[in-house]
Amino acid sequence: MKKSALITELKGVGEKTQKLYAKLNIKTVGDLLADYPRDYETFAEPVDIAQARLEEPAAVYAAVTGILSEKRAGRLHILNMNAADNSGSLTLTFYNMPFLKKTLKRGGFYIFRGTVRRRGNTGIMEQPKIYSPEDYRKLTSRLIPRYSLTKGLTNQAVQKCVKQVLSLYDFGTEYYNQTILKKNDLISEREALETIHFPADYDSLIQARRRIVFDEFFSFLFLMRKNREFCEQLSNSHPMMETADTVRFLEKLPFPLTKAQEKVWSEIKADLSSPCCMNRLIQGDVGSGKTILAVLALLMTAANGYQGALMAPTEVLAMQHYETIMEYVRKCGLIFRPVLLVGSMSSKEKKEAYGQIASGEANLIIGTHALIQEKVQYASLALVVTDEQHRFGVRQREHLAGKGDTPHILVMSATPIPRTLAIILYGDLHISVIDEMPANRLPVKNCVVGTAYRPTAYKFIAGEVGKGRQVYVICPQIEGEEEDTEGSPALENVVDYTEKLKSALPSGIQVAFLHGKMRPSDKNQIMEEFAARSIDVLVSTTVIEVGINVPNATVMMVENAERFGLAQLHQLRGRVGRGKHQSYCIFVSSSEKKETMERLEILNKSNDGFFIASQDLKLRGPGDLFGIRQSGEFSFRIGDIYSDASILKQASDTVDELLRKDPELEQPENALLRVHLTETAADSVDFRTL
């Protein structure tokens, strides 16, 4: 079986299951193999009740000593039972499981597994899972993979499917040569994949993960270095001169550029008129004002009679850029003739746009990666700006180059990374840093709270909406999952939370939701309504993490904040505090573990993305490698540029050495690697699709 085989070729996967997997973006056997577990569940040996640590999953071996109470609250049936061992006793609370009264025998010993909390003077375990000692023994000493799920698809079902794939899959021969394998201490791809899904123990899991992360970094860096070679030879086929247009635009802006913006603007101007093709990255924290620089560069391009393109990772963001620029056109009389190009447009609209692009009638094209589709022919494309995403691969560039002369490239990113990493990751670009915020910004006020704070937060939100402001609420999931995972409480999800908020907030407040699996046209509509203030509270996944600019929004509330990396929370925070009003961030943690709260408190102490990311790294142990992502901007599947920095360095050194010894991979020992990289390159058109 090959990577490209459809999952319907697996036993037990019919049309219905196929649809469920499609929701998770899993279509082929290869997708399933690369759907690495979200995290792993460990079943530790049972402990004495007195030893069980609060707020953590624990198993106890205890006898049922009786029913404490049984009551109804609306449709909910609540059963409290008492369990005890030699060290102490514990209240077990079960919801809607009245039958347990009969099945759990008084005096019988069972293993109960759940999170121990304190209620008054007693410890309680809500909705624990119940095992016989024999069944439980089978689970201990193993790491059970937990996959991302969707309603109707259980963790067990995914496990079964992955097992089947691993047994049928044709792994082929190792593609790294022996030197690379030895020097980097890599296990085989096969072993890595088998282990990452079904690890025997923690040590081998770390090894497996290392190999997979190495692979991700290696192919990314290899292609990037190749890209650099390609770009360094490029001369400027679209030389430009500064015109009065940009000068006049700057005069009409309601604010002066910051010193940092001015410096970057002069670097861009110099690039565009130099003998070489521009290849520049603008790195600046959220809110530092990158958009205006893009507009200036595009304006200079248009003024010189060329076309420019502005590409965004999501349709929502592309639409927003379009609106912003249209506003400038209206207010400042800019010479732009913009056209929008996004996937959700009708084919008639698209065709019209293609026509205007091909004829040169449009001199500014704004859109998502639909832009680079085959059908688009540019009259004179001279500049491509990409916002909030770096992976502008060789392919995309070659593709655009194939449509005429090579355009200048300007990449904008808000990912805070230290200089040493930037040199590796952005090796193919010149780097400009905006290290200064526009003046007169009120710093965002933060608080880190537990779930008990919610009623207060809702009152606060209602108050802000009353003042005419708007609010974001972020949940980690889109919809409720099958509840067959245990140990950690269910995560908040956008769909249910929206309903919850609607009933918790006064009825005049408009609440709506947004997530990445909605139809693009629906997403756009919601974003437009939010921008137009007809929606007050927007419940969303991290779709809005990137780039959204609604200065009237003043509250960012993040549920299950403990599930996010600090750098990502910082990005989310950047969505507020963009206007003249005081803004607030409420990070709600559903775990009140000391370490979690400490980690989140860092956000209270700093507004500096670099600092936050580095502190987060210090506080996290190896066990946190799974489950928490720092930033989605580099679309590595599991590699994390922060916590895997040492693997990144190794991969980088390996690529350098390989390029020195065998740059075209012509030696027989690198033949398979060459094939592998060619295949990887084919799908490295790797935009951050949502």
Binding site for ligand ADP (CB under 6 A): 255, 257-258, 261, 284, 286-292, 414, 438, 547, 549, 551, 578
The tokens 């609060």 sit on which residue?
A: 54
- What is the torsional sign of CA 587, 591, 594, 599? negative
Burial status of residue 167 (CB atoms within 10 A of its CB: 0-12, 13-18, 19 or more): exposed
Residue 284 interacting partner from Mg ion, ligand ADP, none (CB closer than 5 to 8 Å by kind):
ligand ADP
Say how far apart CA 643 and CA 545 lie, in whole Å: 21
Cβ proximity to Mg ion, 158 vs 340, nearer residue: 340
Strand, helix or coil for residue 286: coil
- Adjacent-strand bridge partners of 69: 80
Q: How far is the CB of 300 from Mg ion (least distance, A)?
A: 19
Q: Are 366 and 340 in contact (CB under 8 A)?
A: yes
Alpha helices in 38-112 (DSSP H): 100-103
Residues with Cβ < 8 Å from 439, sequence gap 6 or more?
Answer: 258
Say how far apart CA 391 and CA 74 lie, in whole Å: 52
Cβ proximity to ligand ADP, 291 vs 654, nearer residue: 291
Q: How far is the CB of 580 from ligand ADP (least distance, A)?
A: 10
547 binds Mg ion (CB under 5 A): yes
Name the strand (E) or helix (H) holding 295: helix 291-303
Residue 287 interacting partner from ligand ADP, Mg ion, none (CB closer than 5 to 8 Å by kind):
ligand ADP
Residues with Cβ < 8 Å from 209, sequence gap 6 or more?
Answer: 192, 196, 625, 638
Residue 30 interacting partner from ligand ADP, Mg ion, none (CB closer than 5 to 8 Å by kind):
none
Say how far apart CA 155 and CA 144 lie, in whole Å: 10
Residue 356 interacting partner from ligand ADP, Mg ion, none (CB closer than 5 to 8 Å by kind):
none
Cβ proximity to ligand ADP, 150 vs 291, nearer residue: 291
Q: Token pair for residue 491?
A: 């995560």
DSSP 76: E
Say how far apart CA 550 and CA 532 lie, in whole Å: 9
Q: Which of 639, 649, 651 is nearest to 176 (CA)?
A: 651
Q: In the bound complex, which residue of the shown chain has the CB atom lying closest to ligand ADP?
A: 289
Cβ proximity to Mg ion, 197 vs 290, nearer residue: 290
Residue 255 interacting partner from ligand ADP, Mg ion, none (CB closer than 5 to 8 Å by kind):
ligand ADP
Neighbours of 323 (CB within 10 A): 15
Residue 257 interacting partner from Mg ion, ligand ADP, none (CB closer than 5 to 8 Å by kind):
ligand ADP
Q: How far is the CB of 412 from ligand ADP (least distance, A)?
A: 7
Q: How far is the CB of 281 from ligand ADP (least distance, A)?
A: 13
Cβ proximity to ligand ADP, 49 vs 260, nearer residue: 260
Residue 551 interacting partner from ligand ADP, Mg ion, none (CB closer than 5 to 8 Å by kind):
ligand ADP
Neighbours of 117 (CB within 10 A): 15
Cβ proximity to Mg ion, 415 vs 498, nearer residue: 415
Residue 286 interacting partner from ligand ADP, Mg ion, none (CB closer than 5 to 8 Å by kind):
ligand ADP
Q: How far is the CB of 494 from ligand ADP (least distance, A)?
A: 23
Alpha helices in 52-111 (DSSP H): 100-103
Cβ proximity to ligand ADP, 93 vs 261, nearer residue: 261
Q: How far is the CB of 227 from Mg ion (least distance, A)?
A: 24
Q: How far is the CB of 249 from ligand ADP (least distance, A)?
A: 13
577 binds Mg ion (CB under 5 A): no
Q: Token pair for residue 518?
A: 């909605």
Q: How far is the CB of 224 from ligand ADP (least distance, A)?
A: 24
Q: How far is the CB of 284 from Mg ion (least distance, A)?
A: 9
Q: Which stretch binds Mg ion (CB under 5 A): 82-90, 489-497, 547-555, 596-604?
A: 547-555
Residues that bind Mg ion (CB under 5 A): 547
